[in-house]
Each structure stands twice: as structure tokens, then as C-alpha cells.
Structure 1
Amino acid sequence: MASRSNPRRSNGHRRGMLRRRVLAAYDVCAICGKPVDKTLRSPHPMSAEVDELIPVSRGGDPLSFANCRLTHRRCNRLKSDKSDEYARRQLEGKTVSPARDITPLHDSLDATLHPGGHSPVRIQTATPPTPIRLDVLDLIDMLDATARELWHRLDGIDALDWRKDKRNEDLKATLIACAGHPKLTTVADAGLYMHVINDLARKVDTVLDPPEQRREIGTCELCETMLTAGAADQWVTCPVCGREQRAQTVKLRRLKTLCWDDSERGSAADISKAFAVSGLKVSRKTITTWEQRGKLPRHADGYAYCDVYRLLIGPDLTKSVR
């Protein structure tokens, strides 16, 4: 079956002339309503792009000036082959989502300012002072600024003249008010606000439910596939052969492989980290002190893992520098 050609590329000269004509005719993005900096180069998200009012996939003519307009690259990617109204309708649902996470965010920040929190149901013994969650504080500030700016935009209030707005609603109420505003589906830069709120929502999810930190611990004993595990994982399952193995056994097997070969060498920091992953503690300072006392030879490419291992499990362990 013959492949469908891209009409933009098959008519590159005409498309190039049309692009220059659109850039000369317009200065504002047709989707978000913001000025377009024509000096920016692709793939900068705010660079200039020519978008079809009726997408090519729906029969639109990419070589017709009447069907083309100026947009930001980011706004064009956000719109895809949908309509501008699609992006504005999506904004309504995306605005309510962060509102549900405001209370957990405040609780997370409150727990660092006041150990145990203010809620009487959270009883906690005395603990050392916890550093303030500055990332949570910054996130709340960004949410607050974005929500109030959108609210002012919907009500036609100058965002810089805060004296005209006498309302004093909290952040959650502001987000809900924006989501239910009758002008939300018609505001010109709805696509831009949707992009910002989507980004903030992803950051909120990361703060409230951070991804588990996993790192490589060694290879599977059957298929030699590299295995990864979290800090609290006791068992790991190979994704290739499905064999379940004890995480500590995999770590020790990897360490044994390093220590068996005299050619395996590394810096004091690398060796200390590899031993720590396997449950054996030896600091970088201890390794360098062994060298200074003549117990550990240093090669051109670092220390040998096997030499450090012999000192660590040998009789000299009780005399090592602590």
C-alpha cells in the first residue's frame, strides 16, 4: 500500500513562502493570545510555528493563507489536531485537580514547622527539628500566584493592580471558582494556563507521592540481567527469567565478582559506595589512611577492590582507622 506523503514537505517551497507571509502578518499567538518572539529558534517551546486552523488530518489545506495562523510551538503541540475550545474545556477539569491536593500540601508543610502537626489526632513523640519543606512552600506560592492571576484574567481585572480585588478567598476556593467560571471556555489564553496548571499538578503529585528511588544492585544468577531494587526491598524478581532472589545475595555476589578480579579498580569513593550497597561499611577516609600507612597499594587507575576486601575482612579490621 502506498504511504501517504506529508503535503507540507512535498510542497516545501510553497510552505516556506507561506510561513514567511504568516510571520510577517501576525505577531500574537492565535491560541494563547501572547506575543510571539520570532527570533527564537525551534525547538524552543516559545518559538514561532505555523498552525492550520483546520488540521491537515481533517482535510485542511496547509498551503492556504486563510487556513494558517501564527502560534507558539508549545501551544501548537498542546492543541495537536484538536480545536482551541478543546484546550479550554480541558482547563476546567485540570483546575479542580490541584484544589483537592491543597490540604495534603498544607499538612506536609505544617508537619515540618510543628512536629506532630496541629491536628489532635496526630500524636508524635519529641523529635529533632525538621527542615522546612521549602519545595512545598514554593509549590504553594506558585499555585496561589497562578490561580489568582487566572481569576483576575477571567474577571477582567488587571493582574498587577491588586487593590481592585477586595476578595480574600483561600487558594482552594480560588481554584474552584476558576473551574466554575462562565468565561473559562472563552478566555483567549486558556491553553497557556492549562499548560502551567498541568505542570504544577505533576509537581504536586511528585511531592505527595515521590517515586521510589531504585538503583542497580547486581545481575541475575541465571540470565545475567541487571537487577534494581529500592532501599527497603528484601527480594527482587528478574524481569526476564522471573527468578526471585534475595536482594542481599545479589549485592554480595556482585561484590564478590569485583573482589575476585584483581583488575577491577576504582577510587576510594567508588569502592566505599560499592561496599556500602552490599552491607559492608568502609569509609573513603579509612581507605586513604590505609594507603598512607602502607597497608594498601594505590595503582595508576585507583585501588583494587580485592585489596580493600582483604583488609576489611582480615585481622587488620580491628586496627583500622575509625
Structure 2
Amino acid sequence: MMSAFCQRCGVPVEDGCSLCPGCELRFGLLLFGMGLDVTPLHDSLDATLHPGGHSPTRIVLAVPQTPIRLDVLDLIDILDSTGSELLRRLDGVDALDATVHRPMGLRDALFRCAAHPYLASLADAGMYMDVFVRLAAKIDRVLEPPERRREIGVCELCASPLTAGESDQLVTCPVCKREQSVLAVKLHRLHALCFDTSQSASASRIAKAFTGSGIPLRSNTISHWAYRGKLAPAGKQDGMPRYLYSDVYKLVLAPNTDGGEARAMLRKALLQRIATILARRLTE
């Protein structure tokens, strides 16, 4: 008897379904993304390829090609067997039936599983989703090693440190398994830094934190504010001035209204001057 709740998130589901529509969509997108990673995985079998990134570049060496990476070969084998098993379950084919052959590659099989109409009604869909989530994490570690991943903040639910690559848009907490947006995590960290009056850093580090969170800011702008006296240094480290995140936040998101009004008045005066010149020329 199938449960009336989603096997992944626990919300109520329709009769005959084991996944809710949201989890079914996430599972399908996960399978589709893993299908796109099949070609980079095969390319990563060559040990002469530079590790990291979903589009690795070949290193030309003067020595013969080194052996293949056995860890990547094992991962591809596990992914292939698991994908074939899931496709057989979805199609209702007995795994012991040797007469049925799969006329497609691993990538096409994952694509077919992602778009299969019975993906949400499979009795073990939640278990397969957990398996593929773990496989996706292993694929990410192969294509983008941990040394290329950077800490972006902490989980809003359990405060566990989170890391992400340069091209990642979503991150899953390793403790509570909550999926969050990378940009939201960065904004949460920036919010904590800006509302803590003891947090300070150099101009380049502050500008990087703001820009990485989706708020463009140049280090030259911070230095210019300090030169004009609008931003006071909070100390020095290694001869470089340090500024408070809270002070920079006030200038970035809450600028001085006097300066804004002055620029608006200047812009209005220039427009009036241009209109006067044009009217004079038209009457000549």
C-alpha cells in the first residue's frame, strides 16, 4: 500500500503517487543534469585532462598518455547500472529478462527517466531520488574538486557551513539536506556582516563580498569614499586600511540624500539649458 505522503518531503500527495509535484520536478531536473554530465565524466577518464569544471581542457604532454582514472570509471559504472535499473522499473521490465536490451546510451537513458510519465508514481521513487542525489554529489566532486569550491556562508536552518562552485546556483546542506539558493546564502552572510558593527575588512574584500552577493561594488569606490571623508577607516592590517561592513552598507544601500538631490538638480538644470538652446535655434 502506497503512503499518502511524499517520500521525500512528507507533504500530502495524490493517490498512486509517491512524490509530490515539487519533488518530482526536482528529481527530473536532477536526472536531466546528470545526463548532461555524462560526456564530461567520460572526458575525465583521461588522466591528462585538467580536473575541475564541466568543460575540462586537455593538457598536451610530451610523454605517453597516463592510465585512466579508475575512480571515475567506477562512478560511471555505478551510474549506468543505477540508471538502467530505474529505467527498467519505470518501463515495467523485469531485471532478469535478458531478452530486453536497452537501445540507448547512458545519457539518453537518464533523459528518458527524467521525462518518464511514471516517475512520481514509482513505489520506490523517494529511495531512487536519494541514491541519485548522492551520485550527483560524487559527480560534482569529480568535475569540480573540493579545492575549487569556496565557502559561501552557513545554512539558515542548522548553521552548517556551505560550499559551492563558481557555476552552482543551488546548494544542499550536508546536515539537514535542505536545498537553498547560492545567492540567498551569500546575501544572508552579507546581511550578517553588515549588521555586525565589529566586522571589518579591506576595501577589496568588502567589494568582493558585495559583488558576489549580487550588489556590484568596486574597491576603488570604497577608497574614493574614504578619500572624500565619507568613510572612516576602522584600523589597519599589514599597512592596509580596514573599513566596517556596516559603514559601507550605509553608503551602498542608504546613500546620502543631499548628494542625490544635488545630482538631480544639476541634471534638471542641464536639461533646461539644452531645451533653451534648442528653442533658440528653432526660432532663428
Please tell me the TM-score bracket, short chain as reference: 0.3 to 0.5
TM-score by length of 2: 0.43
Q: Which has the larger radius of gyration?
A: 1
TM-score by length of 1: 0.39
